[in-house]
Amino acid sequence: MKFSFTEDQRLFAEGLRDLLSKQCTPTHVREVWENQVGHLPDLWSRLAEMGVLSMLVPESQGGMGGTLIDAVLLFQELGRAAVPGPVLEHMAVAAPALAHSQWAPALNDGTTIATLWVDTSPYVAHAQVANIILTHDSVITDFSMDDVHGIDGGRQLFTVHAQATTETSSEVFGLPASDVMALASAAYLIGVSEAMIEVAAHYARQREQFGKPIGSFQAVKHLMSDALLKVEFAKAPTYRAAWSASTGSSTALRDISMAKALAGEAAYGASRSTMQVHGGIGYTWEADLQLWMKKSWALMRSYGDATYHRRRVGASVLHG
């Protein structure tokens, strides 16, 4: 038994972190929030070049031929930078699900952008940047849309009216698209949480009250430690879920649910604690913290919230 990532997997994730630290700073994310473009086109091209967008597409179909184990650290890095736009939907589901379709080459190189419409939501995220929309059994190739004002400026919501569709399967590695998204968003939420904790720890080192940095007070230390605890203990279950999904394990859905429940709760906990550590500035539009907080509030309930997923685990372990 070996519960670790390979050197290659770690280096690839580090490379992505490096790219995002330059091309997806809070300033870039705010631009997207304000200009309504919906994503960062330059970054999108770089993600395509680097092979992030086609990570889960077989090599025979022009992709990187990676598994969800290869991808899970990348999802985490994307969350750490609160990358705006349909990168998870495109990379985790659309590109691999449509790998044997006419769209494959353009999805791999990013010139066609796909997003996802899951059955459990009336809304489609990122429809304004998408050329095609994948549903559980079709591709919507022509559509009109109406803007729905969403909480996360990096994940705008729309109601979509399909005008032309083509039947297809949306499964990835034999798993339903919504479950693959649950796994991808769990890992993404871990990255989001890590970023919030880093930002708040940095603030707690700088901000002084009573003549001392507020990070020296136990009330602040304990708030931060408890937030970190939940995030750290969501990681191994999320990586295990990626392994189960990659190996066709019979417990894959249970393991994905465990990951999403833990990561969603950890992210929400981190958002509460890190905002509290910021005090008044945490309640402002100006503070960058909101770029991650709102991401956590959007994704914690997408693709199944913690209650849904915990009950799915319960159905397996209490009645199994």
Binding residues (CB under 8 A) for another protein: these are: 1-6, 69, 197, 201, 204-205, 212-213, 215-218, 220-222, 224-226, 228-229, 232-237, 239-240, 243-244, 258, 261-262, 307, 310-311, 313-314, 317-318
Residue nearer to another protein on the CB measure, 85 or 215: 215
What is the phi/psi pair of residue 134, to 5°? -95, 125
DSSP code, position 304: S
Residue nearer to another protein on the CB measure, 129 or 234: 234
How far apart are the C-alpha atoms of 92 and 99, rounded to whole Å? 12
Shortest distance (Å) from residue 97 CB to another protein: 24
Residue nearer to another protein on the CB measure, 259 or 298: 259
Q: Which two tokens stand for residue 135?
A: 């549903």
> What end-to-end distance do the CA atoms of the chain give, in Å?
25
Shortest distance (Å) from residue 216 CB to another protein: 3
Shortest distance (Å) from residue 212 CB to another protein: 6
Q: Which two tokens stand for residue 184?
A: 């991808």
How far apart are the C-alpha atoms of 189 and 194, rounded to whole Å? 8
Residue nearer to another protein on the CB measure, 27 or 320: 320
Three-state SS sequence of 140-185? EEEEEEEEECCCCCCCCEEEEEEEEEEECCCCECCECHHHHHHHHH
Q: Token pair 């066609």 is at which residue?
A: 112
Shortest distance (Å) from residue 250 CB to another protein: 13
Shortest distance (Å) from residue 315 CB to another protein: 9
Q: Which two tokens stand for residue 207?
A: 């901000």
Residue nearer to another protein on the CB measure, 191 or 215: 215
